[in-house]
Amino acid sequence: MRITKTLQFIFQFITIGLAAAFVVIVFFPELTQKLASNNPPIVEVSQHTAETAPVTQNRAPLSYADAVERAAPAVVNIYTRKIITESAHPLMRDPLFRYFFGNQPGMTRQRQESSLGSGVIISPSGYVLTNNHVIEAADEIQLALGNGQTAEAKLVGSDPETDLAVLKIDLDNIPSITLGDDQALRVGDVVLAIGNPFGVGKTVTSGIVSATGRNMLGINTFENFIQTDAAINPGNSGGALITAEGFLVGINTAIFSKSGGSQGIGFAIPISLAKDVMTQIIEHGEVIRGWLGISVQDITKELAQSFGLPSTDGVILSEIMRNGPAHRAGLLPGDVITHVNDQAITNVRNGLNLISQNKPGSKIKIKAIRKSKAFETEAVVGQRPREDNQ
């Protein structure tokens, strides 16, 4: 009996305690919060290791060695040599002296000038892409491969307006690079630049795509650059811009720098543009572009007001070549071209690109404005002369 009464007392005590706790939690929660504040919570974290971390498509690799190993063998060093004839005496540079005395024998001398750059082997048959300014006016072009092979390169053709050139070497079992898709590039994608800066040897630098579609920089006539902060220095010109997987997306071309060294703003020609130029050079010996025989200028706000134009879109014809395609189509200086084949023209470079994309002999529809009145005409496209022949 005594044990039973003891158990009853214990159960009653527990029941009263639970009831009291329930009342405090429900009706007086601030008391529980005050008690909890005296004991800070323990934060648990889960630390992934290399073995447990899930592999995802967007996960950055710890190394780009595989990409470099895939692409670097196809990147070559280019050494050029040219003979320059110049006046041996300062007086020979004076036009008045030459007028009276002419070019005297022994008053000229020759010197050898060397330069360096980079190139990319595009096909196993030995075609190499590089910049035109790397090999321009060279008397001799030597290529050095990563495996120690060297070869004299033949110039297949060049395109100064995009600053591209195609070389050819005759070697057996040469490596070639795999082309990537520059249209799929996004700002922020990791890219690597491979080349021969300052002649120190093959060098790899990394960065990201800073911008795409850069133009109106005044570097080339036709511009559509990939901008990157991967370090590009003198000697990198003509080298490869590759993705983190090792696929070629651009030909390194220029840097924006006040010091002459890399400042994080470099430009590469997209491989889609370079491939098209290369194909035309190999097939035709030159790049064939459409041409109207006109000189144009952008429309400023002041010009738009004076011409009575609703906006600054379009270009003003400043000069027209006599008997050229535009002249035969009835266009006159002062006309404003607003559309080519129903595509709006926004500025000079945009208009130049729209016209050059048409094949010589094809017909294009032109929308224009003359003395505040809109009109349409049709022109038969001619072939654009090479820049060095204009």
Report how far residue 290's alpha carbon sits from residue 214's, in angstroms, rounded to the nearest whole number: 22
320 neighbors 331 (Cβ within 8 angstroms): yes
Nearest-CA neighbor of 274 among 132, 113, 140? 132
Helix (H, G, I), strand (E, B) or coil at 136: coil
Clarify whether 163 is annotated catalytic.
Answer: yes
Instruction: Say which of 115, 118, 158, 163 is annotated catalytic.
Output: 163
- In the chain, the amino acid numbered 165 is A
Q: Report the distance separating Cα 208 and Cα 227, nearest Å.
A: 9
Residue 197 structure tokens: 């800066």
Q: Are strands 203-214 and 248-255 parallel, antiparallel or unpaired?
A: unpaired
**146, 239 Cβ separation under 8 angstroms:** no
| Active-site choice (118, 158, 237, 262) | 237
237 is catalytic: yes
Rounded alpha-carbon distances, angstroms, from residue 119 to 219, 257, 312, 322, 337? 19, 22, 41, 41, 40
- Give CA–CA dist 200/251, Å, rounded: 19
Cα distance between residue 41 and residue 330, in whole Å: 83
β partners of residue 130: 165
**Integer Rg of the chain from CA:** 35
Active-site residue flag, 133: yes
Rounded-to-integer distance, Cα 125 and Cα 56, Å: 37
Indicate which residue of 115, 118, 133, 182 is catalytic: 133
Catalytic residues: 133, 163, 237
